[in-house]
Amino acid sequence: MKLTWFGLGVLACTSPFVAAAPSSRAPKVKHSIREPYGWTKHSVPSPNHRIELRIGLAQPNIDVLEKHLLEISDPDHHRYGQHLTKEEVEALVAPHDESLELVDEWLASHGIQEEDFTRSPAQDWVIVDVPLSLAETMLDTTYNVWQHTDGDYLVRTTSYSLPEHLHEHVDLVQPTTIFARWKGMRSTIFWPDNEIEETSIASAKQLAGTDVDPACNVSITIDCIRQLYNLEGYTPQVPESNSIGITGYLEQFANIEDLQSFYNDQLPEAVGTSFEFVSVKGGLNDQNLSNAGVEANLDVQFAFGLTFPTPGTFWSTAGRPPFKPDLGSTENTNEPYNDWLDFVLAQPELPSVISTSYGESEQTVPEDYARRACAGFMQLGARGVSLTFSSGDGGVGDGDDDPETTTCITNDGRNITRFMPLFPSSCPYVTSVGGTNNVPEIAVFFSGGGFSDLYFPRPAYQDAVVSEYLANLPQGTYEGLFNPNGRAAPDVAAQGRRFRIWVSGQPISIGGTSASSPTFAAVVALLNDARIAEGLPPLGFLNPLLYSKGLDAFNDITIGNNPGCGTQGFNSTVGWDPVTGLGTPDFQKLKDVVLQY
């Protein structure tokens, strides 16, 4: 008997694997890390603890896929907008037959036959559910229960090995050395009755004679976003041919009753409508009003409200926050993020834009894992999907603590202070969204931003604007605290504070770049609507277009900074900056741009 998970899940035998002689080829360390900062060994897990091993086979043609992506995303290239099909993308990421054969042989040497595991559609991932004792034998390692200073627990190791002949055929095996927690962006909640700042009152006075309601300095609504970003007067023309998606993790449930309250409050014409719910690996749809998720409600209410009546999809991906190591805990993978990526890559049809408000400090994500996940985003971009990610709520820090006091200590053994970029925001194939507040807009203090420190060099599409920003920095500014040659973030920005949403039957005011990403994604969905109405394909990967043709279609944000790591962070300035990127969108100007290509 086998248990089949929903979608691209695990096919796990309920009976023990047949014992077999292990491979005679000597193991060699594939990956190792130092003991991660903030984590300590807590205990020894049960040998019967279940773990879902994900084996990433080498993708020999990934550079070819990147070439395709950059050509079809370049508005000056004759292939612009000619997105690839699911099958074409899968052919480009497929491993060599030799890799498949050798990995199958290795699994068989540990008693794991083909009926015991599943493969991704491109066969570049093998997924198998095993007891921890077998995983330790396969990987020549020892797992421990690790405890974070915040109280979270994970079952991980700091080193694993594979037979040497497999190293060129296998990119990674996880969960092993990944200590990321994939938490939602830390939301900064402000209650309107007692947290209205003097700056917002002063800003409201400046609005006299403008088209923006002064109340938008106290509470951000659908109407405020429409006024701020020049969306007024635009009605979706072909909603039936367009769509927008929101990801949900860590048991964040989007409540339909709250959505109706939000619509009744801000968008009466949408009352009675909802969204498509999709479960990933058993993700739940808990509609108990008291269990409504703040993050999930924020995302769906504004993303779907701004784009109404464009169809919306909400994915609920199973996976609790890190488990508690008690006797009842026998399963713990805690990588729901990658489960979602596997699932959507297997789907023939996808929304044209997807927003995500989850991530982790880049240094907690092993390089091989980060690169494989980023390659997954590349695949989605090549298929015509625009991906937006919150840039984080820790300024130049990692968002774990108050931006004013975040220590930002490296986990490479040096234990030095270093700015902490957020992943996946640091992936060059996604659009990173920072935050603003007030009207006129300034950078919100918690807007995540900076430079990829470890893995991703600055992409060519950023060279001109980022080089200009760095050239204007006073010499020696934060020298040694960041990598000036890394992929820079954010790319753009949107309002990120005082959003009026409904949670558990009550209106609240909430902030965070968790609000900024779905807001910008909604603007992109409306741009796609305008393109589709003219017979053009959706935008797909956005950044090459935004950094070349879209520079004058943004509201430049020149005031504010993003403190963190014991510093004042970077400053907003004329042009691109690592606080608000290119600025906030002007829909009508962007629409004029995107309809030209």
Q: Annotated binding site for Ca(2+): which residue ranges?
A: 556-557, 575, 577
CB 169, CB 103: distance < 8 Å = yes
- Residues 513 and 490: their CA atoms lie apart, in Å, by 11
Given 3-state DSSP classes, what are the helix, strand and coil percentages for the chain, each rounded to the nearest 5? 30, 20, 50
- Report how far residue 73's alpha carbon sits from residue 81's, in angstroms, rounded to the nearest whole number: 6
Our answer to whether residue 71 is catalytic in this structure is: no
Active-site hit among 299, 393, 398, 529: 299
The secondary structure of 295-348 as a DSSP string is HHHHHHHHHHHHHTTS-EEEEEE---SS---STT--B----HHHHHHHHHHT-S
Cα distance between residue 271 and residue 308, in whole Å:
11
Strand, coil or helix: 506: strand
Which of 258, 295, 393, 529 is labelled catalytic? 295
d(CA 421, CA 266): 35
Residue 295 is among the residues annotated as catalytic for this protein: yes
**What are the phi and psi torsion angles at 195 (to 5°)?**
-130, 30
Radius of gyration in angstroms for the set of CA atoms belonging to the chain, rounded to a whole number: 24
Torsion of CA 13, 19, 22, 23, to 10 degrees: -60
67 C-beta neighbours (distance < 10 Å), count: 12
User: E strands within 82-239?
Assistant: 118-119, 125-131, 144-148, 153-156, 159-163, 170-174, 188-189
| 3-class SS string, 271-283 | CCCCCEEEEECCC
| Contact between residue 308 and residue 270 where contact means Cβ atoms under 8 Å apart | yes
Beta-sheet pairing, 431-437 with 386-390: parallel
What is the secondary structure of 222-272 as a DSSP string?
HHHHHHHTT-TT---S-GGG--EEEEE-TT-B--HHHHHHHHHHH-GGGTT
> Do 355 and 386 contact (CB within 8 A), yes or no?
no
Residue 251 falls in the annotated catalytic set: no
DSSP-based three-state secondary structure for 433: strand
Residue list, annotated binding site: 556-557, 575, 577
Q: What whole-number distance in Å separates Cα of residue 113 and Cα of residue 99?
A: 16
Structure tokens at 44: 């020894």
**Per-residue tokens: 381:** 């971009």
**Separation of alpha carbons 220 and 215, rounded Å:** 8
Cis peptide, bond prior to residue 47, ω within 30 of zero: no
Which one of 425, 426, 514, 572 is the catalytic residue? 514
Tally helices (H) and strands (E) across the chain.
14, 28
Please give the positions annotated as active site.
Answer: 295, 299, 514
